[in-house]
């Protein structure tokens, strides 16, 4: 959108705001109530009065125009994700009447209101650190480890490591006894989960800050899940945002007139691994370096094409851990693979080609990897169309293959992210396409042969 186009739309919305305010400004109390009864959608649509000590009613259309102004303003800023529409709209609603009265003209009024919205938002932007309880491993060793900017601390070690901040919180509270109780409740909840993930987010809106913190921690957890594999990483999660099974369950059964109550409870959740697990993981130095790069990227307001794709694919892989239905699991795996490999219109051959490029281990296994990708996609197709049961042994074997192929492809995706975004570069879709094109050129004759075979297979009666 050009500046001229934005100005035209902004002025149109400014007039909508004025129209919405004027619709009520000239009415007496009785007429105002009659209009509100006729236009219930206008309830709670308000702007600040001239003095800033009261409210004036506005129509829903005028209220929505303020949100449209805020959205357009946010999208025009250098880093839109640093701002929330709500924080910008709140300032516009508080400033619009005074600016209109004092500026008189349209464009100066608009410029003043939008500038005030950005200025006030910037004042409220601050660095925030989050401590999120999470489930990682049943072992509490080591007491702390780090993946890039995210530090994982065992719940037993967290109180001592955060002692200074905890003491300051209690000392600064009006009711110290209640504050101490609140701290102990938090520690108890952390002990129930096992770990605390700590991450600091650069200056931005509170809404954006929390979202980025959650994304970064989830990326770090998914990197652990990717390293361990889903069978070991199934229970790992950010406690407050990821789906989970309750630790205690109860239900009742009845046979005839006889009622029976059943309950079950689980101990601490998390990957069931030995205390020395982190020592073995130290051998994966390259993996953790590339993973740390991705986690750091997740905290930024602007991310490259490849970073977004790897984060999305890693998320879909991680979500498969929470699925008990095999048919849904393979949907997640294929979605992750498509996000990594599809750069334009989807085609089975191009999908299999790009998956093979990312997932083959040895050159002599390239064709096998291509056909493995084909088998995974066709298994998804058969399950989706009902021609194969997700409980079929053949399908379950393909599902395990999908897990392994997706896992390997994600390892390569992390490496590609480091290559394309080395030194802080923001690569784009063209860079990613060029990278894959160069990798494809080596295999062009083989891929042409494979493409012909897939085409022939599709044309054969009963083929797929």
For residue 414, the model assigns a pLDDT of 95
Three-class secondary structure of residue 173 per DSSP: coil
For residue 63, the model assigns a pLDDT of 95
Q: Poorest-confidence range of 253-257, 315-319, 401-405, 459-463?
A: 459-463
Q: Which of 150, 334, 132, 332 is nearest to 242 (CA)?
A: 132
Q: 250 and 263 in contact (C-beta within 8 Å)?
A: yes
Q: 355 and 405 in contact (C-beta within 8 Å)?
A: yes
Q: Which of 328, 293, 333 is nearest to 315 (CA)?
A: 333
Name the phi and psi angles at 261, rounded to 5: -105, 130
Residue that has been written with the tokens 């390892």 in this structure: 411
Which is it for the CA torsion 386, 387, 390, 395, positive or negative? negative
For residue 285, the model assigns a pLDDT of 87
Tell me what percent of the residues of the chain surpass a pLDDT of 90: 60
User: Mean pLDDT: which of 233-242, 266-275, 300-309 is highest?
Assistant: 300-309
User: What is the rounded average pLDDT of the residues 438-447?
Assistant: 90
User: What is the rounded average pLDDT of the residues 346-365?
Assistant: 92
* Confidence class for position 265, pLDDT limits 50, 70, 90: low
Examine the pLDDT at 240 and tell me if it is beyond 90.
no
Tell me what percent of the residues of the chain surpass a pLDDT of 70: 92
Examine the pLDDT at 355 and tell me if it is beyond 70.
yes
Comparing 425 with 63, the larger pLDDT belongs to 63
For residue 462, the model assigns a pLDDT of 58
For residue 269, the model assigns a pLDDT of 65
Comparing 344 with 432, the larger pLDDT belongs to 432
User: What is the rounded average pLDDT of the residues 53-79?
Assistant: 95
User: What is the rounded average pLDDT of the residues 363-386?
Assistant: 90
**333 vs 77, 79, 349, CA distance in Å?**
36, 32, 18
Tens digit of each residue's pLDDT (9 = 90 or more) over 199-217? 999 999 999 999 999 999 9
Structure tokens at 172: 């600064």
Tens digit of each residue's pLDDT (9 = 90 or more) over 145-155? 999 999 999 99
Which is it for the CA torsion 240, 245, 246, 247, positive or negative? negative
Beta strands at 126-135 and 237-238: parallel, antiparallel or unpaired: antiparallel
Which is it for the CA torsion 83, 86, 87, 92, positive or negative? positive
Tens digit of each residue's pLDDT (9 = 90 or more) over 147-199? 999 999 999 999 998 888 888 888 988 998 998 999 899 899 899 889 999 99
How high is the mean pLDDT of the chain? 89
Rg (CA), the chain: 28
Instruction: Name every residue whose Cβ is closer than 8 Å to that of residue 357 and which is 6 or more positions away in sequence.
Output: 436, 439, 440, 443
Instruction: Name every residue whose Cβ is closer than 8 Å to that of residue 361 and which is 6 or more positions away in sequence.
Output: 369, 408
Tens digit of each residue's pLDDT (9 = 90 or more) over 72-102? 999 999 999 999 999 999 999 999 999 999 9
Residue that has been written with the tokens 């998956």 in this structure: 355
**326 vs 329, 377, 382, 457, CA distance in Å?**
5, 14, 13, 26
Spatial separation of the C-alpha atoms in residues 159 and 143, rounded to whole Å: 11
Tens digit of each residue's pLDDT (9 = 90 or more) over 115-159? 999 999 999 999 999 999 999 988 888 999 999 999 999 999 999
């Amino acid at each position: 959108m050009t500046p001229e186009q934005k100005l035209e739309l902004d002025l149109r919305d400014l007039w909508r705001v004025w129209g919405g305010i004027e619709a009520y400004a000239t009415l007496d109390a009785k007429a105002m109530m009659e209009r509100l009864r006729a236009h219930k959608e206008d309830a709670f649509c308000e702007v600040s009065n001239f003095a800033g000590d009261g409210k004036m009613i506005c129509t829903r259309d005028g209220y929505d125009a303020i949100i449209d102004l805020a959205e357009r303003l946010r999208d025009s800023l250098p880093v839109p994700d640093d701002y929330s529409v709500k924080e910008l709209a709140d300032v516009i609603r508080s400033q619009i009447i005074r600016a209109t009265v004092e500026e008189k003209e349209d464009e100066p009024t608009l410029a003043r209101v939008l500038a005030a919205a950005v200025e006030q938002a910037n004042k409220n932007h601050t660095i925030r650190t989050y401590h999120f309880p999470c489930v990682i491993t049943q072992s509490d060793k080591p007491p702390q480890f780090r993946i890039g900017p995210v530090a994982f601390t065992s719940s037993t070690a967290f109180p001592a490591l955060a002692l200074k901040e905890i003491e300051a919180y209690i000392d600064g509270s009006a009711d110290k006894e209640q504050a101490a109780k609140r701290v102990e409740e938090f520690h108890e909840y952390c002990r129930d989960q096992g770990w605390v993930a700590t991450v600091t987010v650069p200056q931005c809106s509170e809404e954006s800050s929390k979202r980025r913190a959650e994304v970064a921690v989830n990326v770090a957890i998914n990197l652990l899940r990717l390293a361990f594999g889903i069978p070991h990483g199934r229970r790992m999660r950010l406690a407050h945002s990821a789906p989970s099974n309750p630790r205690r369950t109860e239900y009742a059964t009845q046979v005839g007139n006889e009622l029976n109550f059943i309950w079950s409870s689980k101990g601490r959740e998390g990957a069931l691994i030995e205390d020395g697990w982190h020592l073995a993981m130290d051998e994966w130095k390259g993996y953790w370096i590339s993973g740390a790069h991705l986690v750091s990227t997740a905290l930024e307001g602007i991310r490259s094409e490849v970073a977004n794709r790897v984060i999305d694919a890693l998320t879909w892989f991680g979500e498969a851990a929470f699925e008990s239905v095999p048919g849904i699991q393979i949907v997640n795996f294929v979605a992750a693979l498509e996000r990594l490999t599809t750069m334009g219109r989807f085609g089975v051959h191009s999908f299999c080609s790009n998956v093979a490029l990312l997932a083959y281990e040895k050159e002599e296994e390239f064709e096998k990897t291509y056909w493995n990708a084909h088998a995974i996609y066709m298994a998804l197709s058969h399950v989706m169309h009902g021609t194969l049961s997700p409980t079929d042994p053949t399908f379950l074997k393909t599902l395990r293959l999908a897990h392994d192929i997706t896992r390997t492809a994600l390892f390569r995706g992390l490496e590609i992210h480091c290559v394309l975004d080395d030194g802080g570069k923001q690569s784009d879709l063209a860079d990613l396409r060029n990278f894959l094109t160069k990798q494809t050129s080596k295999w062009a004759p083989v891929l042409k042969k494979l493409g012909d075979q897939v085409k022939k297979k599709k044309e054969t009666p009963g083929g797929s």
